[in-house]
Amino acid sequence: MTYYGEYTQVEKLDLTSKDILSDNIAKIGQLFPEVLTESSDENGRLRPAIDFDKLRQFLSREIVEGRESYEFTWVGKRGAIAEAGKPTTQTLRPDLEESVDFDKSENIFITGDNLEVLKVLQESYLGKIDMIYIDPPYNTGKDFVYSDKFQMSEEELADEMDLRDEDGLQRVGLTKNEKSSARYHSDWLNMMYPRLVLARNLLKDSGVIFISIDDNEQANLKAICDEIFGEENLCGQYVWKRTDTPANLSKTIRQSTEFVFAYGKREIERFYGIQKFSSSNNGLMNQTNSVHELIFPENVVDTNLADGIYKAGKYGTNSYEIVLLEDTEVKNKIFVKPIRLKGKFKWGQEYLNKELQSVTKISIKTIAFSPSYEKTEYEREVPPSLIDRNVGVTINELAQTYVDTLFQIPKIFTNPKPVDLIEYLINFQNNREQIILDFFAGSATTADAVMQLNAEDGGNRKYILCTLDEQVADKSAAKEAGYETIDQISRERIRRAAKKIQEEHPETVGKQDFGFRAYKLDTSNFKDVSQTPDSFSQESLFDSVSNIKDGRTDLDLLFQVMLTWGMELSLPIAKTQIDGTDVYNVADGALIACFADEISESILRQIAKEEPLRAVFKDESFANSAAKINLGQIFKEEAPNTKVKVV
């Protein structure tokens, strides 16, 4: 063996006989790739197979009889469809230590498998999400994808699916998906399908989802999105130029672009584009300044500004012209409506007024501007299909540099998406009050983008992020810096980005939400997981035996109750005391909860007098059935419209 400077492993000789069947299938597949499919062998393993009905058609000059329809299917599709409809018994537990400004923040960061998280969120956020952005695994043959074999233990799953990295470290919740696998595409589709179905449920009718992808699965992604969202709701397939220096890895093409699919839920006519202009433009526009509104008095005589009469009118697609007019030109035209622009400007109103004063007769000045966010204020431009520097979006290398600089550590997280890419997509909707969901959160670029946009335009957008607590690789920059899991890096990214934004925009300090509420996916807080607050009644509850798991806190119980009742995780919670007993008031009376071991009649009556919409208590807080009957009677007297439950 020739030594080339590094150890080359000698492959073991395969002593099994030649797999003639697989060889023949591969040969047929080369001639007719359309007939390749998958089937299970006697051990349940998926292997390449031939669709003989299709092969007969390819080899026949006549139309072969049989069922014919347009469909997109794969091995496991029926299971993937069923998975989206299966309920979950899991819940979200608040993590106060990892949160930032938990009591006041309305942003949400969730650690856990996103399929279960999406199920948990179905009640509380059904039809409430304005925008979803996800950057799922691209299925390159080298990355890990989520495994949905929840019926197996984590150890069994790790052993069967080879869920261990080179160092033997178990990657819980993830599975290798190599191109050599017979279920290479099927596993990826089975992962994506139920998640997209659940994501669609969460979107508003006017909502939109953006999905980043590359060539490996872009065709399959479009096919399942056409099925789930409807091909008539395809807003566009955007091409993002991710690099100026593509690696020379392919024998056919140097790939410098990726794709972003955009689908609306229903009302795609409300999907509007905002054209961003480069901050290098000479004139008014600047993407990062704090000036958000300028007024051009249109055709008004104003001695404070000029001696004559000027006109500010639209000129081209991204500028306004100011022209001083002779009096004779406007004798029969008197305009008093001002032009009010909203956007991001490097000029203030005072400087603009000085520029207007300097306008002389017959002179023309063009001023570049950033368009308004209000649809009624200007004619919006449909965005181009190419996303690159011309629309203000940078490349991947600059995104990497940004994150490296933020952490002062190179490659602590590799291949993050640019913040301005997410900003660009967020700006497609005419809404500064969006709720934005990212359930493949990665390095938390989406949270960074939301905070930066809010700082720039005074918006009040909120984010919900979800990622796994996937363990970082040994000997990685992240490991050496003291990080154990990806979600730790994500949360720290948010903290550092928030600090940086506040330093650059001091006017936002104390006015903008830079915090987040952290939650972790976990099993139910109740021993009998089939029971929920809605399934209990005072008559049917057993006495004296606690059904709450050890170690679970009042807040754990409170948030599971909130999720069961379809209440948002961001609602304000006020903790007070009545006669020394802790009481939680959610959203000013939307829910009042008390989980004390003993609750006096006086406390119950004081809670009832608040007339909350809902009230909940622990079952074991009441000594016997008579005490529970008394609970119902108190609320019947003091707050007959309150829904009262015990857990």
Q: Model confidence at 299, in pLDDT bands (50, 70, 90)?
A: very low
Residue 286 lies in a domain: no
Lowest pLDDT segment from 277-291, 453-467, 550-564, 593-607: 277-291
Q: Tell me, yes or no, whether 512 and 402 share the same domain.
A: yes
Phi/psi of residue 190, nearest 5 degrees: -65, -30
Q: Tell me, yes or no, whether 502 and 575 share the same domain.
A: no
Phi/psi of residue 238, nearest 5 degrees: -95, 145
Residue 284 lies in a domain: no
Average pLDDT over residues 219-242: 93
Q: Tell me, yes or no, whether 195 and 138 share the same domain.
A: yes
Average pLDDT over residues 267-280: 41
Number of structural domains, the chain?
4
Average pLDDT over residues 599-607: 94
Q: Tell me, yes or no, whether 370 and 404 share the same domain.
A: no
DSSP designation for 229: I
pLDDT higher for 617 or 358? Answer: 617
Average pLDDT over residues 100-124: 96
Q: Model confidence at 584, in pLDDT bands (50, 70, 90)?
A: very high
Say yes or no to pLDDT of 359 above 70.
Answer: no
Both tokens assigned to 264: 């609306």
Q: Is 77 helix (H, G, I), strand (E, B) or coil?
A: helix
CATH number at 237 reads 3.40.50.150
Q: Tell me, yes or no, whether 137 and 266 share the same domain.
A: yes
Average pLDDT over residues 411-440: 92
Last residue of a domain, one of 377, 404, 434: 377
Q: Which amino acid is at 465?
A: L
Last residue of a domain, one of 519, 538, 566: 519
Average pLDDT, the chain: 77
Q: Tell me, yes or no, whether 360 and 408 share the same domain.
A: no
β-bridge mates for residue 364, sequence order: 323
Say yes or no to pLDDT of 279 above 50.
Answer: no
Q: Tell me, yes or no, whether 630 and 535 share the same domain.
A: yes
Residue 89 lies in a domain: no
**Highest mean predicted confidence (pLDDT) among 290-294, 386-390, 514-518:** 514-518
pLDDT higher for 539 or 101? Answer: 101
Q: Of 642, 595, 602, 645, nearest to 621 (Cα)?
A: 595
Q: Tell me, yes or no, whether 259 and 407 share the same domain.
A: yes
pLDDT higher for 132 or 351? Answer: 132
Tell me what pLDDT residue 534 has.
Answer: 59
| Interior angle at CA 490, CA 484 and CA 492, nearest 5 | 85
Per-residue pLDDT of 19-75, as tens digits, reads 657 778 888 887 777 788 878 766 667 778 888 877 887 777 666 666 666 778 888
Q: Of 598, 594, 596, nearest to 608 (Cα)?
A: 594
Q: Model confidence at 82, in pLDDT bands (50, 70, 90)?
A: confident
Tell me what pLDDT residue 174 has.
Answer: 58
Tell me what pLDDT residue 33 has.
Answer: 75
CA R_g for the chain: 30
Q: Tell me, yes or no, whether 351 and 322 share the same domain.
A: yes
Q: What angle do the packed helices 77-85 and 184-202 form, to 10 degrees? A: 30
Average pLDDT over residues 234-245: 93
pLDDT higher for 108 or 138? Answer: 108
Percent above pLDDT 70 for the chain: 67
Q: Tell me, yes or no, whether 236 and 345 share the same domain.
A: no
Tell me what pLDDT residue 78 has.
Answer: 84
Tell me what pLDDT residue 587 has.
Answer: 96
Residue 168 lies in a domain: no
Domain extent, residue 197, equals 94-147+187-245+255-273+392-519
Q: Tell me, yes or no, whether 417 and 496 share the same domain.
A: yes
Tell me what pLDDT residue 49 has.
Answer: 86
Tell me what pLDDT residue 255 has.
Answer: 87
Residue 456 lies in a domain: yes
Residue 282 lies in a domain: no
Lowest pLDDT segment from 82-86, 106-110, 496-500: 82-86
Residue 174 lies in a domain: no
CA distance 451 to 333: 45
Tell me what pLDDT residue 360 has.
Answer: 41
Which are the contacts of 589, defined by CB distance < 8 A and separation ≥ 6?
610, 611, 612, 613
In SS3 terms, 382-424 reads as: CCCCEECHHHCCCCHHHHHHHHHHHHCCCCCCCCCCCHHHHHH
Q: Model confidence at 569, in pLDDT bands (50, 70, 90)?
A: very high
**Highest mean predicted confidence (pLDDT) among 72-86, 92-106, 311-325, 516-530:** 92-106
- DSSP run (H or E) holding 198: helix 184-202
Alpha-carbon torsion, ordered 128, 293, 382, 323, to 10 deg: 160
At which residue do the structure tokens 């400087």 appear?
351
Tell me what pLDDT residue 23 has.
Answer: 73
CB 92, CB 563: distance < 8 Å: yes
| Interior angle at CA 498, CA 496 and CA 501, nearest 5 | 110
Burial of 12 (0-12, 13-18, 19+ CB in 10 A): exposed
Q: Of 373, 511, 369, nearest to 432 (Cα)?
A: 373
Residue 500 lies in a domain: yes
Tell me what pLDDT residue 459 has.
Answer: 92
CA distance 29 to 366: 62
Both tokens assigned to 322: 């100011």
Q: What angle do the packed helices 396-407 and 486-504 form, to 10 degrees? A: 90
pLDDT higher for 391 or 283? Answer: 391
Q: Model confidence at 271, in pLDDT bands (50, 70, 90)?
A: low
Q: Tell me, yes or no, whether 493 and 566 share the same domain.
A: no
Average pLDDT over residues 549-560: 95
List the strands of the sheet with 364-368, edge to edge: 309-314, 319-325, 364-368
Last residue of a domain, one of 69, 86, 103: 69
**Highest mean predicted confidence (pLDDT) among 48-57, 196-205, 268-277, 386-395:** 196-205
